[in-house]
Amino acid sequence: MLSLCWPPRTHCARGLEGEQTDGREAWLDLMAGPLLTGQTLERIATEFNQLQFHAVQSKGMPLLDRVRPRIAGITAMLQRSLEGLLLAGLQTSDVGIVRHCLRTYATLDKTRDAEALVGQVLVKPYLDEVIVEHFVESHPNGLQIMYDKLLEFVPHHCRLLREVTGGAVSSERAAPVPGYDFLVNSVWPEIAQGLEEKLPSLFNPGDPDAFHQKYTTSMDFVRRFERQCGSQASVKRLRAHPAYHSFNSKWNLPVYFQIRFREVAGSLEAALTDGLEEAPAGSPYCLLASHKTWSSLKKCWSDEMFLPLLAHRLWRLTLQIVARFSVFANELSRRPISNESAKEIKKPLVAGSRDSSASQGSNEDQGRGPAEEKPVVSISSTQLVYVVADLDRLQEQLPELLEAVKPKLQMIGFENFSSISVALEDSRSSLSACMPALSSRVIQDLSESCFSYLKGALEVPRLYRRTNKEVPTTASSYMESALKPFHQLQSGYKDKLRPSLMQQWLEGALSESTHRYCETVSDVLSSVRKMEASLKRLKQARRTAAASPVGPSGGMSDDDKIRLQLALDVEYLGEQIQKMGLQTSSIKSFTALAELVAAAKDQAATEQP
């Protein structure tokens, strides 16, 4: 029956011209009949391949044009029989039929046709029932449920195909049919197309939080689907498939990043420019700007925002955030220090500037003359201390950020952490470079506040000369006021500043103010000596006791009271320095100051009767 009566292969042209009508008609009748068996189809396919070969060899001959329609008809009938038999084998789970059909497809070099048939007839109807946009959008966990159902398709409906093409079944030691990958070429293309066509909202990045959740869920589904592939080679074929690339390209990650960038950068910039407000309760930072900076850094690498394919962009944003805070700190170090109290810290410092700007525009519109100059934006002493404390805190926490970044980078196979550490250390150095200028401003402010009261030493002569005041036994009141800024610094910021930084500020400010105080005391004592000498000359000239500097009781002179008072003031200063945890030897000019008043005190003692 299968003798097709074709001429010898070496005489194909002459054979095609011979009278072999009976054999051909018998074959055509066979093809037009009921579904053929798998073995019959395999043998027919082999002969059909031979027919195709002879047709190619006879290219250009008139006879070929006459038999071409027959060849096309045979092709169509063979294709139809193969499709019907394959579907019947799948429906009845007949391993033998499925194996013969797949071998026949392979013989005809039509493996892709078989895979496409499975995709259209077996996969697509299942997906039409599972991929339903209304269910995904209305159910709180609809997307995950849908993906779970999609993953059930392979073990439930592709088991037979995988056994035939991927290895021998348990009941039959038959070699697998090579050349097929139904998961890659049948299942995945239909899944990708179904998701793209039936769930267009899946890829919409307009809502970044929803987009992130959908993307991470979808990528988890892809990874789970890859684990269903039979081998690493199959996974590689899947990742190289056009449908795989098409699905991944639907996720507009650049737009998602731009939205996130505007969120992070916008919130941070508002905190940096709208005023130096306090950080929320519970924050390790003092200022809202610093709190926002750290929270922005953490957000970039949080599970709610991070996506592996955006790691390089998020790392660049991280460095930009640190650099922006460094610029912010440098700008603050140049602001003049205001007299704002700590209670007013919550008020944005630029508010007055904005109101002034609005009034200026109004004046210009009404022709009332040129606008007034905008007030200079200043910073309070408290805010200045807060900036330094936050800057120091941020430097300490950057290594923590690195530990949060490493696991995220490992997700994309990045292991060159030394370069990441170097880059972050450079950013940390930029923050550290802001510290000297800011610390200098704090020291200057403390010194000015202190010396503004230490100048009270100039009033000591006026308090004792010709006033008959008692001999001093305690320090002057101005000394307590002069030391108040240092006590406030220690008590108010001990939980916010490192002890070493606190000590640096105290020593610096005390050294500067003590140096100026020493000059002031020296001037006062010099003035006292001159006044004392002048009075003595006047006494000698008048030779009367009326001009004597000695008080009516005949006790200590006014000049000696002045010397004693200054000595008591300096002694008190030394005691308070030690109570602050400092050594007087570390305070510049204090030794010279102590020696200066000690000599004056000794002079007062020797002049007593």
Q: What is the pLDDT of residues 475-502, one digit of tens each?
A: 999 999 999 999 999 999 988 999 999 9
CA angle 474, 478, 481 (to 5 degrees): 115
Name residue, tokens 């001093």: 472
The band of 302, judged by pLDDT with boundaries at 50, 70 and 90, is very high
Mean pLDDT of 408-415: 90
Cα–Cα distance, 193 to 250 (Å, whole number): 11
| Closest residue by Cα to residue 607 from 529, 544, 552 | 529
What percent of the chain has pLDDT above 90? 58
Q: Residue 173: its pLDDT value, please?
A: 58
Does 355 or 25 have the greater pLDDT score? 25
Name residue, tokens 């109807």: 125
The rounded Cα 78 to chain-centroid distance in angstroms is 61
Mean pLDDT of 51-75: 62
Please tell me the least confidently modeled range out of 27-36, 443-452, 481-490.
Answer: 27-36
Q: Residue 49: its pLDDT value, please?
A: 62
Does 128 or 346 have the greater pLDDT score? 128
The band of 45, judged by pLDDT with boundaries at 50, 70 and 90, is low
At 198, is the secondary structure helix, strand, or coil? Answer: helix
Evaluate if residue 44 carries a pLDDT over 50: yes
Which residue type does 187 have? V
Q: Residue 81: its pLDDT value, please?
A: 77
Mean pLDDT of 518-528: 92
The count of other CB atoms within 10 Å of the CB of residue 498 is 12
Asked whether 503 and 582 are in contact (CB, 8 A), the reply is: yes
The rounded Cα 12 to chain-centroid distance in angstroms is 73
Mean pLDDT of 323-340: 89
- 287 forms bridges with which residues in the sheet? 278
The count of other CB atoms within 10 Å of the CB of residue 514 is 27
Evaluate if residue 150 carries a pLDDT over 70: yes
Please tell me the least confidently modeled range out of 50-59, 297-306, 307-316.
Answer: 50-59
Residue ranges in 93-207 assigned as alpha helix (H): 95-107, 111-118, 124-130, 133-138, 142-157, 159-166, 182, 188-198
pLDDT in tens, 176-190: 888 899 999 999 999
Burial of residue 138, with CB atoms counted within 10 A of its CB: 0-12 exposed, 13-18 middle, 19 or more buried: exposed
Q: Residue 365: its pLDDT value, please?
A: 41
Asked whether 521 and 596 are in contact (CB, 8 A), the reply is: yes
Mean pLDDT of 521-545: 78
